[in-house]
Amino acid sequence: MLTLKSVQAGYGPLPVLKGISLHVRAGEVVTLIGGNGAGKTTTLRAISGLLPPRKGVIEFAGHDLTHMPAERMVTLGLSLVPEGRRVFRTLSVTANLELGAFHRRDKGAVRQDLEDIRERFPILKERAHQAAGTLSGGEQQILAIGRALMARPRLLMLDEPSMGLAPQMVTRVYAILAELKAAGTTILLVEQNARAALKVADRGYVLETGRIILDGSAADLRDDPEVQRAYLGKGYQEVWE
């Protein structure tokens, strides 16, 4: 569904991505893990058109995205849940959800999707008329995921969905991702929380200073001593079991 071939990207004179190649198949959950400054967010920005690549090719479902405007990509089926959630704080929960479907013209289906998402995430139904900025961080993350789903994405991309959340909300957010995976949603997940990401993912890539240094199944990455040492923490295996 998604392929990156030798993609380079950066900000001004600063190179960040130094020729990365990866792919995501339909129905997979694929995670990118790595430390701060590894290039994870830059990868999502390049895919979504917010940071045009300097070199390389990005293809999605038969379309060349390399120099496509970001607004066009939503119509092709890419949805991004950005780092920090980025909800419209002064608008209601319902208005935020509706904005996720801004490009759609099938009004009846939009109304049905709105009801379906409220049923899937009861907190969004309970807080329907509440300003999004008054929600907790975890509730805002659920809202951001719901808003992205309103676009009916073929590929859902999430940037650091656990960042800044209390442990119980991290558990809730990842339960949602597991539900989406079970429903067949294709997901590209960027995370510093490698423990959580590898638990839900099918495959993963490890990024370090703009390069992919390791890739494989989630199980293989969990068992890799270097991944355990660098990203999963002391005593990981005992905690995992």
Q: Which residue has the higher pLDDT, 95 or 240?
A: 95
For residue 241, the model assigns a pLDDT of: 33
pLDDT mean across residues, the chain: 89
Q: Is pLDDT at 74 greater than 90 in this prediction?
A: no
- How confident is the model at residue 238, as a pLDDT? 34
What band does 8 get if pLDDT is binned at 50, 70 and 90? Answer: very high
Confidence band of 71 (pLDDT split at 50, 70, 90): confident
What is the reported pLDDT for 114? 93
For residue 232, what are the domain limits? 2-240
Burial 124-144 (b: 16+ CB within 10 A, else e): beebeeebbeebeebbbbbbb
CA distance 75 to 153: 9
Domains contained in the chain, number: 1
Strands 63-64 and 14-24: unpaired
Burial code of 195-221, b = ≥16 C-beta within 10 A, e = fewer? bbbbebbbbbbbbeebebebbeebeeb
Q: Which CATH number characterizes residue 138's domain? A: 3.40.50.300
Per-residue pLDDT for 234 more than 90? no
Tens of pLDDT along 154-212?
999 999 888 888 888 888 889 989 999 999 999 999 988 888 899 999 999 999 999 99
Q: What is the pTM of this model?
A: 0.88
Q: Is 64 exposed, middle or buried (0-12, 13-18, 19+ CB in 10 A)?
A: exposed
The predicted pLDDT at position 233 comes to 59
What pLDDT does 97 receive? Answer: 94
Express each pLDDT in 121-160 by its tens digit: 888 999 999 999 999 888 998 899 999 999 999 999 999 8
